[in-house]
Amino acid sequence: MPVAVILVILTVVDDELRVLLIHRGGEPFLGWWALPGGLLRPGEPLADAANRKLVDETGVADVYLEQLYTFDRLEGETVAVAVAYFALVDATRVRLRSEVAWEPAWYPVSDLPDLAFDNARVVDYALTRLQNKLEYTNVAYSLMPAVFTVSDLQGVYESILGRELDKRNFRRRMLSMDIIRPTGKTVARGAHRPAELFEFTSRQPMEL
């Protein structure tokens, strides 16, 4: 029974949550945008296949990657089972594939083009999972640089949740969850007073 992996690779660019799409160069759905993915190699574990495709598409591996769902009836799909994973990447570290026919591009999750294989349903599923995980894990670490301001982190949360958050309450909550800590350093931005820099207490998946 043919099995494929599908990757929902998410990042935040210009305060927008975006997903990586590729341009299909063959049938079915010739010319459509789709999520990257591919068939398992003989004897290849699912997680290994997902990591392999992630590196192929982005050039990074040490990021948050989680199995999302197993879809058995995606419209037009030529495999019996498609196992979806979602990954969170810092766009500044990514090196997209340079193949002209592939045309990888970041698309806003809120404004997707028509997608092949009912992939919009897979993206929606990943977004819901990610929004829920913000409540009880530190997964946002994978979208952030090594050091950042609380405002930077809040912007990422707002991009994922699709709503504004109260600045004071957000800072209090992040510190009380013990997922970030001050570095003792600051950064100057424009005419404002220097902002305190923070880092994650762990850059490994952690449940609270």
23-66 per-position pLDDT tens digit: 988 888 889 999 999 889 999 999 999 999 999 999 999 899 99
Other Cβ atoms closer than 10 A to 1: 5
Query: Do residues 63 and 51 touch, judged by C-beta distance below 8 A?
Result: no
Domain 3-133: give its CATH code: 3.90.79.10
- pLDDT at position 100: 66
Report the alpha-carbon angle 120-18-167, nearest 5: 120
Contacts of 3 (CB under 8 A, 6+ apart): 39, 40, 46, 79, 80, 81, 82, 83
63-115 per-position pLDDT tens digit: 999 999 998 766 555 666 889 999 999 999 999 987 766 789 999 999 999 99
Residue 155 has pLDDT above 90, yes or no: yes
User: Which overall architecture, per CATH, does domain 139-200 show?
Assistant: Orthogonal Bundle (1.10)
| Residues present in the chain in total | 208
183-194 per-position pLDDT tens digit: 999 998 877 789
HEC secondary structure over 7-36 = EEEEEEECCEEEEEEEECCCCCCCCCEECC
Evaluate if pTM is beyond 0.85. Answer: yes
Give the H/E segment covering residue 124: helix 119-133
User: Would you kindly state where each structural domain of the chain is located, as residue ranges?
Assistant: 3-133, 139-200
- Both tokens assigned to 125: 């599923």
